[in-house]
Amino acid sequence: MTADPTADPAPGNAAPGALTHFDAAGQAVMVDVTTKPETTRTATARARITMQPATLALIRAGTAAKGDVLGTARLAGIMAAKRTAELIPLCHPLPLTQVTIDLTPNPAAGAVEIAATVRTAGRTGVEMEALTAASIAALTIYDMCKAVDRGMRIEDLRVTHKAGGKTGEFNQP
């Protein structure tokens, strides 16, 4: 038996803890957000890419062979946030109003700390856009520096802040 394709998964009516991207028959569905109110929504995701001290020194000095690593990673993260719905199958395409990518070299940790913050006024959150932006910024750093340091590690990708919508505010370090 096939689930009714016109059935509304009724956002907000799922049992607490229920997964919203599945219908009653267990098939993956895009959540219908038609009736949700538009609110300002913000999310920040963080990641870290660790590397050898010499690699971080190249990045900080701006002398990596492929050019401005941090500037390129910033642009890649912004572009990725804007294309999240093309990459994650059940994400809604969203009109993003702001994307910021902060890339902070941390010599003590031998890393670049990445924070991606995304904003919109809409019916669904921007956590996936922030996560995509942070991960693509990290991957861009890896790509631009892999010739000198194949042992770099992308670590600790997570949402650290979310605001807006029915569930309100969420914070974690």
pTM for the whole thing? 0.86
Confidence grade of residue 34 (pLDDT, cut at 50, 70, 90): confident
Q: What does the pLDDT read at residue 19?
A: 74
Q: Give yes or no for a contact between 47 and 157, defined as CB atoms under 8 angstroms apart.
A: yes
- Residues present in the chain in total: 173
Nearest Cα to 78, choosing from 154, 159, 134? 134
Q: What is the DSSP letter of 6?
A: T
Confidence of residue 155 (pLDDT cuts 50, 70, 90): very high
Does the annotation count 149 as an active-site position?
Answer: no
Q: For residue 16, what pLDDT is reported?
A: 56
Residue 131 has pLDDT above 90, yes or no: yes
Residue identified by tokens 């569930």 is: 167
128: tokens are 């996936």
What are residue 104's phi and psi, to 5 degrees?
A: -120, 110
Which element (helix H / strand E) includes 49? strand 39-50
pLDDT confidence band for 141 (50 / 70 / 90): very high
- Which of 23, 143, 149, 156 is catalytic? The answer is 143
- Can you tell me the mean pLDDT for 67-85? 97
Q: What is the mean pLDDT of residues 33-50?
A: 94
- Residue 160, SS3 per DSSP: strand
Report the percent of the chain where pLDDT is more than 90: 73
Whether the per-residue pLDDT at 69 is higher than 80: the answer is: yes
- Let me know if 150 is exposed, middle or buried by CB neighbors in 10 A (0-12, 13-18, 19+): exposed
Residue 119 CA, distance from chain mean position? 12
